[in-house]
A = this chain, B = another copy of it.
Amino acid sequence: MEKVKIALLGLGNVGSGVWKIFNTNKNEVSRRSGCEVEIAKVLVRDKFKQRKVDVPPDMLTTNPDDIFKDESIKIVAELIGGIDPAKEYILRAMRSKKHVVTANKMLLATSGEELFKTAEEEDVYFYYEASVGGGIPIIREINESLTANKIMEIVGILNGTTNYILSKMSKEHMDFKAALDEAKEKGYAEADPTSDIEGYDPVYKLAIIASLSFGAKITVDDIYREGITKITPLDIKYACKFGYTIKLLSIGKVCPDGIELRVHPTMIPKAHPLSNVNDSFNAIYINGNAVGELMLYGKGAGDLPTGSAVVSDIISILRNNGSQYICTSLKNHMPHKKIKPLKENISQYYIRLSVIDMPGVLGEISTILGRNNVSILTVTQDVKSKHDVSLIFITHEAKEGDMQKSIDNIKKLTCINKVESIIRIENFNE
């Protein structure tokens, strides 16, 4: 059996998972790849740091040259994350004629074009299944399994941290802060959770899968982004009352007037399969014009699930040696397509206002909404005191721009204490 040497860049969470898998599943890896894979070197910043896995000390190195200048190393797995030095390392690896596997969503979403161009020039493989959805094989699904389809819609729960927080808030009636603290405690949220809770992480992921699904250059700037920090237990309570669950969805849709791209908290019907995706699980719902509705569900993060994607990519490279995968390259050669401006999006809305109880309040608000073509489906009133009445509107479908204009005007009314929340509702009816 052919022996192949590989190297890992980084030995954090994902790196440790990859190490464990190669050790635990040695037989599966050989059977599936037809090769005996040896991890020859692991690049780390500190050779003496305490690790979760027992890597022989002579395998660790702090010098990238030990990897890039070693011609016997055929594949490099970049598991450092972030832009710097990950990008430089990937480019160096490619220019040293090494195939590259990465889990780096941020780098792919922001520098994908350059990386794929280099991979093509150097004629090396560049695989990235682990960059979106952890262990869920969404990249291969789009790039290989659904190639017969025009993908019309892709809707994902792509961030495990926020899904954990929202699940806790829904099921245990916690507030955001308490749920975030618990997520940190359990290792689901990082010390600085901004990238997750403000929705940057799912934006990177959506940029990658939307680009592949729709065959278009899509950058992070094309995607509307809104995090979950403003979601309150009260909104969750009302969502439940109206038959909805609140999820942080990443939405990409092909519309006649352009591609819709947005990441924001969304109310979805309790009966929809995405509504039952709880805790740190991820799921991706796809609608293809041949395959119809399809959903993938699994662990979107964690050392072993993400490692599963990295190691499977390495096996694919070993197995496909000699063949060329076209179309798996991100953005490179992809055309720009029209992105639909957010204000053109059509959606139902949940609007919660705090108002002062005085005659004509509902009339004034309804008039403004009506004048802006936003028609009301239901109104619910909840009186806390004469000076603080909650008014909850569910609208019919309306244009985002019209809704925003209404809100701007509603804010100016003297009876309004505050516009507490605006949450989009997705009903998935075609």
Contacts and interface: CB of A to CB of B under 8 A. Distances in A.
Contact of A17 (B28, B288, B290): B290
A326 B290 CA distance: 28
A29 B293 contact: no
Given A144-B312, A149-B28, A319-B327, A291 B273 contact: no
B150 A25 contact: yes
Interface stretch (A40-48, A63-71, A134-142, A366-374): A134-142
A141 B147 CA distance: 15
A416 to B, nearest CB: 41
Interface in A76-129: 129
Contact of A33 (B24, B32, B147, B311): B147
A276 interface: yes
Contacts of A32: 147-148, 326-327
A25 B152 CA distance: 12
For this complex, into which size category does the number of interface residues on chain A fall? 35 or more
Contacts of A33: 147
B25 A290 contact: yes
A193 interface: no
A251 interface: no
A321 interface: yes
Contacts of A323: 319-323
A294 interface: yes
A229 interface: no
Interface stretch (A194-202, A297-305, A354-362, A417-425): A297-305
A315 interface: yes
A79 to B, nearest CB: 14
A379 interface: no
A28 B319 contact: no
A314 B145 CA distance: 11
Contacts of A293: 298-299
A327 B147 contact: no
B326 A319 contact: yes
A325 B321 CA distance: 10
Interface string A319-359: 11111111100000000000000000000000000000000
A148 B307 contact: yes
B308 A288 contact: yes
Nearest to A148: B311
Nearest to A17: B290
Given A148-B21, A215-B31, A297 B295 contact: yes
A240 interface: no
Contacts of A288: 135, 308
Contacts of A148: 21, 25, 28-29, 32, 307-312, 314-315
Contacts of A321: 323
A57 interface: no
Given A24-B289, A146-B308, 8 more contacts: A21-B148, A29-B148, A31-B215, A31-B327, A34-B326, A136-B294, A292-B302, A294-B297
Interface of A: 17, 21, 24-25, 28-29, 31-34, 129, 135-137, 140-141, 144-150, 215, 273, 276, 288-299, 302, 304-305, 307-312, 314-316, 319-327
11 contacts: A32-B147, A135-B290, A144-B316, A148-B307, A291-B304, A292-B304, A292-B305, A294-B297, A320-B325, A321-B323, A322-B322
